[in-house]
Structure 1
Amino acid sequence: MTAGLTLRLARAVAFAVVCLGLSAVGHLAGGGTVSPRTAVLGAVVALAAALPATGRERGTGAVLALLTGAQAALHVLFSTAPLLPPLAEATGHTHAKLVPDLGMALTHGWAIVMTALWLSRGEAALWAMLRRLAVRLLTMPLADPPVSPRDRRIPVSTPSSLRSAALRHVVIGRAPPSQAA
């Protein structure tokens, strides 16, 4: 199953917003600053990184790799962005090094792994919902004939993906078993 342009853009924007938010919050927590111009540039970088990967469902490994690369690019962008001299002097910010120390690397790594797991579970849930919706729409009859209570059971010829999408605790019929059973 492949995604259309609207779904691709929505997924890429969601990834870019989460990626930019994670990077900006981490950078601000580390004592850095993020100017609006740098944030917009970071959003464009994250969106450009995500858009080619949104054509189909991606697993945890692909999301982790993409998020790691985007976070590294945003770290470099935020670390090398020119600071306003009065703000840099007031905060004592000297975060201009490109290679993070061990504590920052561990914090970045932990945040990236947790965010990648969260995004990949959201990705899996989105695609599962779209698959179930497609099965429902493809197997939906055009006109519903009158249904007797005895005919409300799921037919044997129904695809297994449709049966798995049914609620598990729903009581289909409350009548006694049929004579054939």
Structure 2
Amino acid sequence: MTERPPLRTVRAGVFTSVCASVSVGGHSLSSGHGVPLGGLIVGSALVYAVAWAVTGRERGLGAIAGWMAWSQSALHLVYTTAQSAGGHHGSYDEALAAASGSGGMLAVHAAAGAVCAWWLRQGEAALFAYLRLVAVALLPLLALATVSPSPPRPRTTGSAAPPRGRETVLYLRHSLVLRGPPAFC
């Protein structure tokens, strides 16, 4: 099921807020230092851009977990770089070494990503189930709104039957038939 841009924007925003907030909390606790606001903004913008690009349709748990793993890794790198720019790790080279070699922090990011992916998949399934339910509930109403009663036909007297080979076809009142079989005279 595909969706319109307003709902797509909201879904990307939810994914970004869950991913960034869990990631910044875990990263700050693991490193012992807060993440600067600039790092949070850059990381959130990056994750939002990718999330908006991939939320065109409903995704399964595997796809969500994959994107969550990617986003957690990207946020880990952005947060570590932002912390090094803020003077918490010493130099930029030390920050990159810490970002690539900190197994405990990467494990925390991976665990947070797995939990968030499961949680987001539950929300995704509930949202699309609701949208399908609304579509099924509104379909009969839409069908009733588009069907209009045909105008009454004048009564004919006698045995005036339509010519053979012709069938009476009811068209919607707003349709225009431009082609058809040749008329039998």
> Do both proteins adopt the same fold according to a TM-score greater than 0.5, normalized to the shorter chain?
yes
Using the alignment, how far apart are the partners of 2:67 and 2:107 within structure 1? 18
In structure 2, the partner of 1:122 is 123
Q: Is the 8 A contact 1:23 1:71 kept in 2?
A: yes
Residue 8 in structure 1 maps to residue 8 in structure 2: yes
2:28 matched residue in structure 1: 28
5+ residue gaps, structure 1: 144-181
How many residue pairs were aligned?
Answer: 137
- Structure with the greater alpha carbon radius of gyration: 2
Query: What secondary structure is seen at the aligned counterpart in 2 of 1:34?
Result: coil
Residue in 2 that maps onto 1:60: 61
Residues of 2 paired with 1:84 and 1:125: CA distance? 41
State the distance in 1 between where 2:128 and 2:106 align.
32
Tell me which residue corresponds to 2:86: 84
CA distance in 2, matches of 1:119, 1:80: 27
Aligned partners of 1:32 and 1:95 also within 8 Å: no
Determine the structure 1 residue equivalent to 2:100: 99
Residue aligning to 2:74: 73
Which residue in the other structure is 2:148 paired with? none
Deviations 1:127-173 (A, max 9, x none): 00000001101123758xxxxxxxxxxxxxxxxxxxxxxxxxxxxxx
2:6 is aligned with 1:19: no
Partner residue of 2:133? 132
Cα RMSD between the aligned structures? 2.0
5+ unaligned residues in a row in structure 2: which ranges?
146-185
Residue 95 (structure 1) shift: 5.7
| Deviation at residue 36 of structure 1 after TM alignment | 1.3
Contact 1:60 1:116 in 2 (8 A): yes
Specify the alignment match of 2:50 in structure 1: 49
Give the % identical residues: 38
Question: Structure 1 CA distance, aligned partners of 2:139 and 2:15?
Answer: 30
- Judge conservation of contact 1:58–1:123 (CA < 8 Å) in 2: yes
TM-score normalised to structure 1 length: 0.69
Shift of 1:80: 1.1
- SS of the residue aligned with 1:3? coil
Asked if the contact 1:38–1:77 (Cα under 8 Å) also holds between the matched residues in 2, the reply is yes
